[in-house]
Structure 1
Amino acid sequence: MDALILSAKKIGLIAGALVIAFAAYFIGSYFWQGAVPTSLMNKGEPRVINMVTGEFKAQTADGKEIEAYRFDPGTVFVEKGEPVQLNIYGVNGKEHPFYIEGTDIKGTVKQGEETVVDATFDKEGIYRMICETHSDTSTDGPMIAYIVVD
């Protein structure tokens, strides 16, 4: 059987790779020390999901200004039966009255203010959070966020 012979160059490469791997681990753990996996959150407490209202503006080739309002993030994933708290901060637009389809949840997000919505979705599916002011392209929308419940 052939003996495994490592040259000084191979040993140096292996040692260098190990040093880089350990350095990456320790540097990463230093910067991410405040991160908490959602699986370790206290059960029963609502998971906080931070959102904002935003606006995109552009100019077409013929000089016409166009804009669209959005919720960001545009898609949120939650577990069936999981209590969540949507904290929606109004950045762009004076106000955005909204409702969540399939629920009795309604509210208004005002510029410079945070609107807090507590919710628990007991049925799987996709729920649309729709701004009533910007519901389609004729009103600078659609301003819709999707809440995906698994």
Structure 2
Amino acid sequence: MGALILSAKKIGLIAGALVIAFAAYMIVNVVWKGAVPTIGMEKGEPRVVNLVTGEFKAETKDGQEIEAYRWDPGTIFVEKGEAVQLNIFGVNGQEHPFYIEGTDIKGTVQQGKETVVDVKFDKEGIYRLICSTHADTSTNGPMIAYIVVD
């Protein structure tokens, strides 16, 4: 039977691999706790999500002007039961009457003003924030944001 012979080089490589594995373990399990808010949140305060109304304009090859209205961001992720405050600022368009599908929440965002909506979803799913003025392509939409609750 051959004897196990470890050279200094092999010992160094094994020790280095162990140090790297331990460092990776520490980073993943001790230091990094996943996504954290970049702003301070007081305990019990709702998480604030800022949205704006936006407009895209373009001209086709034949000179026709086309436009589309959007919510930005277009997708928001929240936890089931999490208190969330949507602060929606009107940038483009005079006003955007909206509702959140599957809820009783309705409102209107006006240009140059901020509309604040407090929400808490008790069921998982995808809820659509829909501007009723721009509900489809015939009205320069769809102006829909998705609120993903899990």
Give your verdict on TM over 0.5.
Answer: yes
The aligned counterpart of 1:142 is: 142
Unaligned runs of 5+ residues in structure 2 are: 1-6, 11-34
* Partner Cα distance (1:145, 1:50) in 2: 12
* Partner Cα distance (2:57, 2:148) in 1: 28
Please state whether the residue corresponding to 2:45 is helix, strand or coil. Answer: coil
Q: Once the two structures are superposed, what CA deviation does each residue of 1:74-106 show, in whole Å capped at 9, x if it has no partner?
A: 000000000000000000000000000000000
The aligned counterpart of 2:109 is: 109
CA 1:77–1:3: 2 relative to 1, 3 Å: closer
| Shift in Å, 1:41 | 3.4
1:73 aligns with 2:83: no
CA RMSD, Structure 1 to Structure 2 (Å): 1.9
| Shift in Å, 1:133 | 0.3
| Shift in Å, 1:45 | 1.1
Q: Once the two structures are superposed, what CA deviation does each residue of 1:89-140 show, in whole Å capped at 9, x if it has no partner?
A: 0000000000000000000000000000000000000000000000000000
Unaligned runs of 5+ residues in structure 1 are: 5-35
The aligned counterpart of 2:48 is: 48
User: Alignment length, in residue pairs?
Assistant: 119
* Partner Cα distance (1:140, 1:41) in 2: 37
* Partner Cα distance (2:59, 2:53) in 1: 21
Where do residues 1-150 of structure 1 align in structure 2 (5 Å cutoff)?
A: 1-2=7-8, 37-38=36-37, 41-150=41-150
Please state whether the residue corresponding to 1:118 is helix, strand or coil. Answer: strand
* Matching residue's letter, 1:119: V
Please state whether the residue corresponding to 1:138 is helix, strand or coil. Answer: helix
* Matching residue's letter, 1:134: H
- Percent identity between matched residues is 76
The aligned counterpart of 2:29 is: none
* Partner Cα distance (1:3, 1:85) in 2: 58
Please state whether the residue corresponding to 1:42 is helix, strand or coil. Answer: coil
Q: Once the two structures are superposed, what CA deviation does each residue of 1:54-79 show, in whole Å capped at 9, x if it has no partner?
A: 00000111111000000000000000
Structure of larger gyration radius: 2
